[in-house]
Amino acid sequence: MKKNKSYKPEWTPENAGEEFAVKIVEGVEYQNQKQSVSEKAIKRKLLSVDEYVNGVLKFDRNILARTITLIESNNHQHQEIAQQVLKNLLPYSGKSLRIGITGIPGAGKSTLIESFGLFLLNQGHKVAVLTVDPSSTVTKGSILGDKTRMENLSKENNCFIRPSPSGGTLGGVTRKSRETITVCEAAGFDIILIETVGVGQSEVTVRSMVDFFLLVLIAGGGDELQGIKRGIMELVDAILINKADGDNEKKANISKADYENALHYLQPATKGWKPKVLTTSALTGKGIPELWNTIKEFEKLSKESGVFEQRRKAQLVEWVHRIIEDSIIDEFYSNENVKKSIRKIEDEIIKGKITPTLAAENLLKLFKAKD
């Protein structure tokens, strides 16, 4: 691939090189470099809490990007400032529609976001796109694919695209993503699109931060082939059979009927809403207006019934519990006593000298012991 006319998105740290360009030679590893460069970028010039807050509220894209970088930093001092900034932004947040998009790799999620995002901008909306990919530190490069696939969208002033925060646990990624949603909403984005990969725990996590959850599939793959578990189908408000173009259109309609049938037997994810199955072509834009109509209908119904508000409240409470769980787990595994003994105790379990329950009790005793 040629590096013709590459440009850098605004989340790029100031001194970053070509590895942050939108058009880029595939396979460049940049994850570690990104982290260290952005840490330096924050250190070089920390703004005051007011400067961050006012910048975000004034829709200053540069400050918006820097605020998110601050949130994503694991540095203790940055975290303290970030929390104050968030506290001030909180009253201005919450007014968006949050849409989660999941699906098998290659189903066309990013392409869909590009065409759906442009459609929404045309309707006068402001769109923020976030990705949650806890595996991105391992797989690398998936974000590069996203950036090239959302090329037109990323040039739009009323759109803001932020890749998954790098590094850390799913818990860490989740916290950062939720806080990033808060900041984007305070900046005035009224539609938040969150893309996640269709593997492991990330769907459940994204479901817990969005109002509407969409599963993107392709025709004729068969459930096993598409790696879609029944559990995921129970989380969704709509299924989209994408790539319904050319020869595929017929197959897509057959799949649509199959999934409609399958959904019929499942518990709906949102009380009072029967999950819909739609077909689209992210490439041609066919089916996009219908997707938006479905989402608007969902919003109207769930707001009228109070389910929308109830879910938002439940999500906030759940968020607090997640933070507590994560921080206790963190504290446990970084405890010196635990660190000293854990390998030995694990070894004893493997050799059958001790039961798992006893092993856990011993470790917890060590954790609670005053040194």
Ligand X SMILES: Nc1nc2c(ncn2[C@@H]2O[C@H](COP(=O)(O)OP(=O)(O)OP(=O)(O)O)[C@@H](O)[C@H]2O)c(=O)[nH]1
164 binds Mg ion (CB under 5 A): no
Nearest approach, Cβ of residue 281 and ligand X (Å): 4
- Residue closer to ligand X (CB basis): 192 or 345: 192
Q: Say how many C-beta atoms besides its own lie within 10 A of residue 176's C-beta.
A: 23
Q: Say how many C-beta atoms besides its own lie within 10 A of residue 312's C-beta.
A: 12
Report yes or no: 206 and 196 within 8 Å, Cβ to Cβ.
Answer: yes
- Residue closer to ligand X (CB basis): 105 or 306: 105
- State which of positions 92-121 bind Mg ion (CB under 5 A): 109-110
242 binds Mg ion (CB under 5 A): no
How many degrees, rounded to 5, is the angle at CA 175 between CA 154 and CA 200? 85
Adjacent-strand bridge partners of 130 = 162, 194
Give me the residue label for tokens 């290659």.
106
202 binds Mg ion (CB under 5 A): no
**Of 104, 114, 101, residue with least CA distance to 283:** 114
Q: Say how many C-beta atoms besides its own lie within 10 A of residue 19's C-beta.
A: 17
- Residue closer to ligand X (CB basis): 130 or 197: 197
Adjacent-strand bridge partners of 216 = 103, 240
Nearest approach, Cβ of residue 166 and ligand X (Å): 16
Site string for ligand X, 41-80 (x = CB under 6 A): ----------------------------------------
Q: Say how many C-beta atoms besides its own lie within 10 A of residue 364's C-beta.
A: 12
Binding piece for ligand X, criterion CB under 6 A, among 240-248, 258-266, 301-309, 360-368: 240-248
**Of 245, 241, 239, residue with least CA distance to 284:** 245
- Residue closer to ligand X (CB basis): 192 or 241: 241
Q: Which does 282 bind (CB under 5 to 8 A by kind): ligand X, Mg ion, none?
A: ligand X
- Residue closer to ligand X (CB basis): 243 or 276: 243
- State which of positions 29-88 bind Mg ion (CB under 5 A): none
Dist CA 295 CA 270 (whole Å): 13
Site string for ligand X, 146-165 (x = CB under 6 A): ---x----------------
Radius of gyration of the chain (CA): 22
Nearest approach, Cβ of residue 150 and ligand X (Å): 9
191 binds ligand X (CB under 6 A): no
Q: Which of 56, 107, 187, 345 binds ligand X (CB under 6 A)?
A: 107
Assign 274 to helix, strand or coil. coil
Nearest approach, Cβ of residue 24 and ligand X (Å): 15
- Residue closer to ligand X (CB basis): 103 or 117: 103
Q: Which does 162 bind (CB under 5 to 8 A by kind): Mg ion, ligand X, none?
A: none
Nearest approach, Cβ of residue 189 and ligand X (Å): 21
Q: Which of 103, 117, 163, 171 binds ligand X (CB under 6 A)?
A: 103
Assign 45 to helix, strand or coil. coil
Dist CA 37 CA 39 (whole Å): 5
Distance of CA 31 to the CA centre of its chain: 17
Nearest approach, Cβ of residue 199 and ligand X (Å): 9
Using CB under 6 A as the binding criterion, the count of chain residues that bind ligand X stands at 18
Distance of CA 43 to the CA centre of its chain: 26
Dist CA 83 CA 74 (whole Å): 12
Report yes or no: 202 and 170 within 8 Å, Cβ to Cβ.
Answer: yes
Give me the residue label for tokens 């065409």.
115
Q: Which does 147 bind (CB under 5 to 8 A by kind): Mg ion, ligand X, none?
A: none
- State which of positions 255-294 bind ligand X (CB under 6 A): 281-283
Interface residues with ligand X (CB under 6 A) are: 103, 105-111, 142, 145, 149, 197, 242-243, 245, 281-283
Interface residues with Mg ion (CB under 5 A) are: 109-110, 146
